[in-house]
């Protein structure tokens, strides 16, 4: 697996949303939920409709899942941006079963299959290239983008560490792409 970067520029995030929304609401929703949840791609792709909507087809306030990699329970609120993307996606999808995958593959086999990791990679990578992102981008970029922007907004690194299930703050800093240049900027901008 190659090392990928978070999307650091919010203008690029909005440009990707615009491209994905114009192309396919499923892909837009995948991207938006991914960057607003910090879920690993394996957990994002295994979401079912029942994880995000109630029996009356209303979007839930929270997502409650067991992580595939860690087997830990993850329980978190659905952000306003993710909720709006889900609503738009559901309006287009109209008829769905409560237990089917949230992000369905367009090529149907027997029943409705979940979007696969390699296809999600192509969707995200192609959108990034189309807006001129030069960094390595992949499915893990969604999770890293969540962590990076949480850190940039002032969230304590130990809280981000806990949200991402990392063992040390140092691991989290490396993971979200905090570079030597970022650390140098602290010295250059502080000037007390």
Residues that are catalytic: 40, 69, 140, 143, 166, 175
CA neighbours closer than 13 Å in the CB half-sphere of residue 87: 11
Residue 154: which region, alpha, beta or left (left: phi > 0; alpha: psi -120 to 50)?
left
CA–CA separation, 24 and 156 (whole Å):
35
CB 86 within 8 Å of CB 61? no
C-alpha distances (whole Å) from 123 to each of 64, 102, 116, 118, 148 are: 26, 16, 11, 9, 21
Cβ contacts of residue 126 below 8 Å, gap of 6+? none
CA–CA separation, 32 and 17 (whole Å):
7
CB 59 within 8 Å of CB 31? no
DSSP, residue by residue, 50-64: HHHB-TTSPBPSEEE
CA–CA separation, 106 and 94 (whole Å):
15
């Amino acid at each position: 697996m190659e090392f990928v970067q978070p999307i650091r520029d919010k203008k690029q995030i909005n440009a990707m949303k615009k491209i994905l929304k114009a192309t396919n609401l499923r892909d837009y929703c995948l991207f938006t939920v991914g960057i607003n949840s910090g879920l690993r791609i394996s957990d994002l792709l295994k979401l079912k409709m029942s994880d995000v909507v109630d029996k009356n087809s209303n979007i839930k306030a929270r997502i409650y899942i067991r992580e595939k990699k860690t087997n830990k329970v993850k329980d978190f609120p659905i952000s306003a941006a993710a909720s709006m993307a889900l609503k738009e996606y559901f309006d287009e999808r109209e008829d769905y079963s409560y237990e089917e995958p949230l992000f369905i593959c367009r090529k149907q086999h027997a029943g409705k299959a979940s979007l696969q990791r390699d296809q999600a990679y192509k969707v995200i990578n192609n959108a990034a290239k189309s807006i001129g992102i030069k960094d390595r981008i992949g499915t893990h970029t969604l999770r890293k983008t969540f962590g990076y922007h949480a850190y940039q907004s002032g969230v304590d690194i130990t809280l981000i560490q806990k949200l991402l299930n990392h063992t040390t703050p140092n691991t989290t800093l490396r993971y979200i792409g905090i570079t030597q240049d970022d650390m140098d900027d602290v010295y250059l901008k502080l000037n007390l």
